[in-house]
Structure formats: structure tokens, C-alpha cells
Amino acid sequence: MDNPDDGKNLIQMLRDVRKYFGEVAKLLGVAESSLEEHGLELAEKSAYKYGSALLSYPGDWLPYVVIRMFKVSQPGVRVFVSAILDLYPEYDAVLTQPIVCSGWIDFGDQNPEDVTTYWVPSSHVRIGHHPADGKWYTTRNTESKHPIELRAFGVPLTSILGEPQLQSLVLQPLLKEVESRWPRLQG
């Protein structure tokens, strides 16, 4: 860093990243409150897992995906709202920008508490290679010991400018899908 402004710029960049995470947290908090008002129960408190504080894994100091996972009346199913902020470079052709990914996953006979939840929303991109176009896609993983079914959609994170866009682009389509499958939710 030869330029004296480089240090100041780096500090500002880190502050901007923290502010960005704060905005994503607000978005997920609004989604959580709204879904709980409709009868969904939060499945776990952690917004992300699988980060690292180890010097040997600096790439994992920041989360790739943050998520809110909810229970429905069917035991093996979880509903989620997530922000996919980044993935590994091999997914750059599919994930061209951060997205909000929402949907549900059926773990079948597996106990969802025994399954890593981090990969659930990223499967929309990693396995399905689906764009962030607001359309519902179904991805099935039948090759694993425990097959799963994921039904999700994604929209660009930058399209969510506030609660009205969150409601219309994410939560209303999600609730419509969920209520059509598990109709005992409150309206």
C-alpha cells in the first residue's frame, strides 16, 4: 500500500461490507416476522453455519449463504428464505449476483435437524443451475442415500429495495406455494 488513501479505502470497504450484512439481516428479519405471523415456526436460530475463524480457512470468515428455516406441519419439510451472497468460483457462470432464494425442501425420511441446512438454498444454483428470474424450479437429488426434493425460486438481491418488494417478490409467492401444500397456516 504505497498510497496513503489505500488504508482508509480498505477500512471503508470493510465498513461497507458490515453495513451490507446489516441490511441483509434486516431483510431476513422482516421475512422471519412475516412468516411467523402466517403460522410458520422458526426451525433454528442461527442465520448461517460453517463459517470459520481459523487462519487456515480465511475464505470462510464471511458467510456464503444466510438463511431462515421454518417448520411446517409435515415433519420432513422445511420452508426457507435465504440470501445467497457468494458461492465458490466454479459457480460464477450461474451465480452472477447475490440473490434471495426462497422455497421449501422435503428431506423425506431424514430428520431435518440431522442435515446440514447451509447447502439447501444454494442447491437451487449448485445442482439446478437455475437463474434468479422469480420462477419456481424443482430440483431432485435422487442419487443420495436419502433423496430430497427442493422447490425454490430466486430473485436478484438488488431488486429488494424494501419491505414492499420483499412482500411482492418473495414472501407472497412463497406463502401461496406453502399454503397450497400445507393449508393449515394462518392467513
pLDDT confidence of residue 48: 76
Establish if 119 belongs to a structural domain.
yes
pLDDT confidence of residue 13: 94
Give the mean pLDDT of 171-178: 96
Establish if 102 belongs to a structural domain.
yes
Rounded Cα gap, residues 67 and 69, in angstroms? 6
pTM score: 0.87
Q: How many domains does the chain have?
A: 1
Most confident of 111-120, 155-164, 174-183: 155-164
Angle, vertex CA 30, rays to CA 164 and CA 78, nearest 5: 110
pLDDT digits (tens, 9 = 90+) for 91-121: 888 888 999 999 998 887 777 776 666 667 7
pLDDT at 185 over 70: no
Give the mean pLDDT of 50-72: 84
3-state secondary structure of 42: strand
Establish if 66 belongs to a structural domain.
yes
pLDDT confidence of residue 92: 82
CB atoms within 10 A of CB 30: 18
For residue 77, the surrounding DSSP H or E stretch is strand 77-84
Q: What is the mean pLDDT of the chain?
A: 86
Establish if 160 belongs to a structural domain.
yes
3-state secondary structure of 108: coil
Domain that holds residue 172: 4-181
pLDDT digits (tens, 9 = 90+) for 9-38: 999 999 999 999 999 999 999 999 999 999
Establish if 187 belongs to a structural domain.
no
Rounded Cα gap, residues 168 and 175, in angstroms? 11
Please check whether residue 120 is in contact with residue 102, taking contact to mean a CB–CB distance below 8 angstroms: no
Please check whether residue 28 is in contact with residue 83, taking contact to mean a CB–CB distance below 8 angstroms: yes
Paired with 81 in beta bridges are 68, 102
Give the mean pLDDT of 140-159: 83
Sign of CA dihedral 76, 108, 44, 185: negative
Please check whether residue 151 is in contact with residue 137, taking contact to mean a CB–CB distance below 8 angstroms: yes
For residue 41, the surrounding DSSP H or E stretch is strand 41-42
pLDDT at 186 over 60: no
Establish if 169 belongs to a structural domain.
yes
Establish if 186 belongs to a structural domain.
no
Establish if 118 belongs to a structural domain.
yes
